[in-house]
Amino acid sequence: MLSFILSAKRLLVGIWKSFKRPQFLSLFTTLFFIILSGTMFYRGTEGWHWLDAMYFSVVSLIPTGVETGLYPTSDFSKIFTMIYLIVGTGVMFITLLMLGRSIVDFTIEEEKKEQVIKHLKK
């Protein structure tokens, strides 16, 4: 449980630090609009509930192989999905990469602080 709490703290600090970077804010905004457009498209075209449409829009951009049980049925939806995945996966990947970088940077900063404190105590 302690490990989860520490990991959650690192994640939240990483997110906070990431939003201070203009590039991350731009990528996050772009990703938000990509997911919003996917959600609205699948809601309107496929008739899925809002939560199902958003879930499919997010999970399909993360290459994990999660089975959603949702599939585009019309030819138009399939074409949209191909374009959506080509554009969205790249933006999602870069956004997650920048977030991970902020988390690693925060962890390195914590380790350096601990070393300085240990050195000062000697």
Q: What's the domain range around 41? A: 22-95
Number of domains in the chain: 1
Is residue 89 in some structural domain?
yes
Is residue 17 in some structural domain?
no
Is residue 111 in some structural domain?
no
**Structure tokens given for 44:** 């309107």
Is residue 27 in some structural domain?
yes
The pLDDT of residue 122 is 65
Task: List the CATH number of the domain containing 34.
Answer: 1.10.287.70
Inter-residue contact 39 to 52 (CB < 8 Å): no
Is residue 7 in some structural domain?
no
Is residue 68 in some structural domain?
yes
The tens place of each residue's pLDDT in the chain, 122 residues long, gives: 778 888 888 888 888 888 888 888 999 999 999 999 999 999 999 999 999 999 999 999 987 777 788 889 999 999 999 999 999 999 999 998 988 888 887 777 777 777 777 777 76
Mean pLDDT of the chain: 87
Residue 47 gets the label, from left (phi > 0), alpha (psi -120 to 50) or beta, of: left
**Structure tokens given for 82:** 């191909």
Is residue 43 in some structural domain?
yes
